[in-house]
Structure 1
Amino acid sequence: MSEAAIPSTVAVPQILAKPRGKKRWGIAILMGVGILINYMDRLSISVVQTPLSHEFHMTATDFGIISSAFLWSYAIMQIPSGALLDRFGVKKIWAAGAILWTVASVLTAIATGAWMIILARIFLGVAEAPAFPGAMKATGIWFPRHERGLCTAIFDSGTRLANVIGLPIVAFVVQAWGWREAFWVQAVLSVLFLLAFLVWYHGPREKFARKRLSEGELDYIIAGGASVEQPHDDQPVRMLGYLLKQRKLWGLSLGLAGAGYVLWMLLTWLPGYLQTSQHQSVLGSGLYAAIPALAMFLSELFIGGFWVDRVIGRGANGDKVRKTVIVVGMLVALLTAGAALTSNTVIAITFIAVGSAGIALVYVTSNSLPALIAPSGAAGSVAAIMNCVNLLAGVVAPILTGFIVDVTGSFQWAFIIGAIALVGGLASYLLLMGKIEPIPAPPSTKDAETV
């Protein structure tokens, strides 16, 4: 389809009239379902800790290593996956990833030893690396700037619903049939998602060409500052080198890493903490672990999504609103350390749930920023760098937590170290990130055509 056949709006009005079409929200929900299945894949290992450790005779440190194995390859592959997304587009890379993460679930289900589970987890990390950068890139392509908060909240809510819906389901399957069957269920869900994704996902211009998107909605998306779905002009290595020199990107990445340390500690160890320190059953730990996830879901959807977009849409300064949400979120997240002060399960979960709601605000706001600060066509690379740095903290958290539990016999110091990481992340946001605005394009791309 030629550019001439695509409707466009040159001037961007201050207030855009909402179109009748809502295809863009269907895309947000589709990405959210994909993220939900992603997180079920990666978090199920935490629910099966007890039967898995018994079968393969593992210590807490051994389990920490298995839990972090996913993050080794996931972190390493973030930057390459971002470059691939910017080069080949969301549809091709996400579809390939869905095929590979299905295979990883099957490998886990048929594992004959701990070594095979480690290999399957490493493979899963490679397969799921494009998931979040792809969702962030799709947000920039499909949504005007003032609607990206809610879109991000919708797809990011998949990470929370994995705990609210996914982990109780996994816990039930483990309790009823066994831990291997839980991974067979995940493989089936992955295949179903792949089929749905191949049918429904296209870029907005391709949707319009297929007569599955109205002209009014496409005009609205373009006029609101949506990104162009095309490769950036620079070579991937050149663009990555340029982005790595940007202080703004480092402030965002290191800030999110502070929250990420605590998030990954909870994602990999919360059921284990409940089973060992709080003496809960496998099913009980799955149900309790759903409470913080529900708090995160509500926090990011209604505050980080609806409220932020509504306030900015009414003319508030987007930079100030988003920064305020991040700072408040980091301060509230410090309440997770309260779990170190009590042996009462209800009180501990309350501290963790409220603190987790703060982490959700940090995540949903930070995840909306790559599409807002990236040079044209490079949102995938910006998101991938941010995720890579964040995940390096995630690699450390499961292993360090397991080591602390083995040495001290409790999780008290694990929660305290998490609070220290949050303080460091807050300092990075405040001192390094600066104003939330697009990073200037490298010299060779400054004159590139924009829409």
Structure 2
Amino acid sequence: MTEQVLASGTEESEVIRPRGKVRWKIAVLLGSGILINYIDRLSISVTQAPLSEEFGLSATEFGLISAAFLWSYAVMQIPAGMLLDRFGVKKVWGAAAALWAIASVLTAMATGAWVIILARIFLGVAEAPAMPGAMKASGIWFPRHERALCTAIFDSGTRLANVIGLPMIAFAVATWGWREAFWLQAALSVAFLVGFVKIYGGPKAMFSKSAVTEAEYEYIVAGGASAEDVRPADSVATIGYLLRQRKVWGLSLGLAGAGYVLWMLLTWLPGYMQTGMNKSVLQSGMYAAIPALVMFLAELTIGGYLVDRLIGRGADGNKVRKLTIVIGMLVAMLTVGAAFTQNATASIIWIALGSAGIALVYVTTNSLPALIAPEGSAGALGAIMNCINLLAGVAAPIVTGIIVDVTGSFQFAFILGGIALVGGLCSYLVLMGNIEPIPARAVTTGASA
């Protein structure tokens, strides 16, 4: 073996970096797909004003439209995880990307609010494999000691959607109209589909085609990556087994606490700036980009690079990752500060600071399925975690809309978000336990029975 992990078998050891960077190109490719996913799902928030005006929508009704995506997205998480574990990342992501484009086309051609709701539900189905697929791919392509940075790279697509996507969509809406913005989304999805089908493959398959060097391939395998899709013996039984694990519920409910606040911001931040702070559509898109930029930087520098650096230098991986999650949840509570100001600048500062904490929670938690799932079931574990998280996400835009209609402000919406964060922190501390591999499911054969 030309390159190896020193003191093999421990992710905390100093490592020798090999020549070859194909795995990082894969991480960027995954991040590009997540970026387009999040542009698709977030653009509806920028179009609140023109959509509400054209179709006569109240804040509660717009909240229902915003949540339509999340209903189907949440419900389809576990089926998507099973498909990923059964057919592999390339086939499932390729088929899904084609459906993203169709969903955007349906929205652009909508003749009424009900058509938009149907298109958003369809988009939720189409995008369900995205995040669990990226989690699964990280376990195929990356050694254990590099997965924090890999996760930070692909998860940063969720943040860049606000930094790049929302201002772009806001410009398209302000310049051409909201329908044209969705046509633009469809074009982005088609472009990604072409690139993904051409580039993506597993390390083993790409090594056999000389697209990956021997040094990099051996480095990936020696670091604990599977190097190819490993199918579980029984997908349904695997799901049931994972749902019986306390650790899985600790991760999922903890992420749901942060997810409630994240989805409140993703679906309502531009609308909050438009209706609560009297900003224009274009201005609201620019304001929404600020917290996302802070999240992007926090993910890459702290949640990605620093975590991998500490573990690579010998720090205990369980302690580093768990401490990052706890600190992230505490910092996330700063978003509550926005409830006590009527100044747009002060409000966005509180939200940006708190969003940095949410980013640390997400990037660390999203790296865990590939680290702790039994072999071949990272897609299923990521899907379960996402599903439970998204149930909170479904509630966030609806509850926020109701609060705004009833009280006329967003104050209590931010306070409720703080309560959700406290619940999530308790789940991480009480239920999750140590960050360590879940034992493989015992399979009883007919003979032994």
Task: Give the match's secondary structure for 1:443.
Answer: coil
Superposed CA offset, 1:345-394 (max 9, x none)? 10000000000000000000000000011000100000000000000000
Contact preservation (8 Å) 2:403, 2:412: yes
Contact preservation (8 Å) 1:233, 1:445: no
Give TM-score, length-normalised by structure 1. Answer: 0.96
Paired residue type of 1:402? G
1:164 maps to what in 2? 163
Paired residue type of 2:375? S
Contact preservation (8 Å) 2:141, 2:227: no
1:257 maps to what in 2? 256
Q: How many residues align?
A: 440
Alignment pair present for 1:338 and 2:337: yes
Contact preservation (8 Å) 1:109, 1:181: yes
2:265 maps to what in 1? 266
2:389 maps to what in 1? 390
Contact preservation (8 Å) 1:256, 1:363: yes
Distance 1:393 1:203, change over 3 A: same
Which structure 2 residues correspond to residues 285-300 of structure 1 after superposition, within 5 A? 285-300=284-299
1:69 maps to what in 2? 68
How far apart, in 1, do the equivalents of 2:226 and 2:288 lie? 37
Which structure 2 residues correspond to residues 141-220 of structure 1 after superposition, within 5 A? 141-220=140-219
5+ long unaligned stretches in structure 2: none
Aligned-pair Cα RMSD in Å: 1.5
How far apart, in 2, do the equivalents of 1:391 and 1:373 lie? 21
How far apart, in 1, do the equivalents of 2:323 and 2:425 lie? 11
1:276 maps to what in 2? 275
Task: Give the match's secondary structure for 2:443.
Answer: helix
Superposed CA offset, 1:326-360 (max 9, x none)? 00000000000000000011000000000000000
- Give how far 1:152 is off: 0.3
1:367 maps to what in 2? 366
Contact preservation (8 Å) 2:204, 2:227: no
How far apart, in 2, do the equivalents of 1:212 and 1:69 lie? 41
Paired residue type of 2:65? I
Superposed CA offset, 1:12-69 (max 9, x none)? 4743321110100000000000000000000000000000000000000000000000
How far apart, in 1, do the equivalents of 2:202 and 2:229 lie? 10
Give TM-score, length-normalised by structure 2. Answer: 0.96
Contact preservation (8 Å) 2:88, 2:229: yes
How far apart, in 2, do the equivalents of 1:65 and 1:229 lie? 40
How far apart, in 1, do the equivalents of 2:229 and 2:324 lie? 32
Contact preservation (8 Å) 2:202, 2:227: no
Which structure 2 residues correspond to residues 300-339 of structure 1 after superposition, within 5 A? 300-339=299-338
- Is 223-232 or 327-336 further displaced after alignment? 223-232
Superposed CA offset, 1:188-216 (max 9, x none)? 01000000000100000001011100010
Superposed CA offset, 1:374-426 (max 9, x none)? 00010000000000000000000000000000000000000000000000000
- Give how far 1:228 is off: 5.0
- Give how far 1:444 is off: 1.8
How far apart, in 1, do the equivalents of 2:156 and 2:232 lie? 33
How far apart, in 1, do the equivalents of 2:400 and 2:115 lie? 23
Alignment pair present for 1:96 and 2:89: no
Contact preservation (8 Å) 1:16, 1:220: no
- Give how far 1:244 is off: 0.3
Contact preservation (8 Å) 2:287, 2:348: yes
- Give how far 1:236 is off: 1.0
Contact preservation (8 Å) 2:148, 2:303: yes
Contact preservation (8 Å) 1:375, 1:439: yes
How far apart, in 1, do the equivalents of 2:298 and 2:229 lie? 34
How far apart, in 2, do the equivalents of 1:118 and 1:203 lie? 36
- Give how far 1:145 is off: 0.3
How far apart, in 2, do the equivalents of 1:70 and 1:373 lie? 29
Superposed CA offset, 1:226-284 (max 9, x none)? 12533434211111010000000000000000000000000000000000110000000
Contact preservation (8 Å) 1:265, 1:394: yes
How far apart, in 2, do the equivalents of 1:42 and 1:233 lie? 31
How far apart, in 2, do the equivalents of 1:121 and 1:250 lie? 28
Paired residue type of 1:138? A
How far apart, in 1, do the equivalents of 2:237 and 2:443 lie? 10
How far apart, in 1, do the equivalents of 2:154 and 2:288 lie? 20
Contact preservation (8 Å) 1:228, 1:377: no
Task: Give the match's secondary structure for 1:46.
Answer: helix
1:55 maps to what in 2? 54
Superposed CA offset, 1:118-159 (max 9, x none)? 000000000000000000000000000000000000000000
Task: Give the match's secondary structure for 1:202.
Answer: coil
Contact preservation (8 Å) 2:403, 2:410: yes
How far apart, in 2, do the equivalents of 1:158 and 1:445 lie? 42
Superposed CA offset, 1:91-121 (max 9, x none)? 0000010001110000000000000000000
Which structure 2 residues correspond to residues 430-449 of structure 1 after superposition, within 5 A? 430-444=429-443
- Percent of aligned pairs with the same amino acid: 70
How far apart, in 1, do the equivalents of 2:417 and 2:263 lie? 10
1:41 maps to what in 2? 40
- Give how far 1:8 is off: 10
- Is 16-25 or 195-204 further displaced after alignment? 16-25
Alignment pair present for 1:400 and 2:386: no
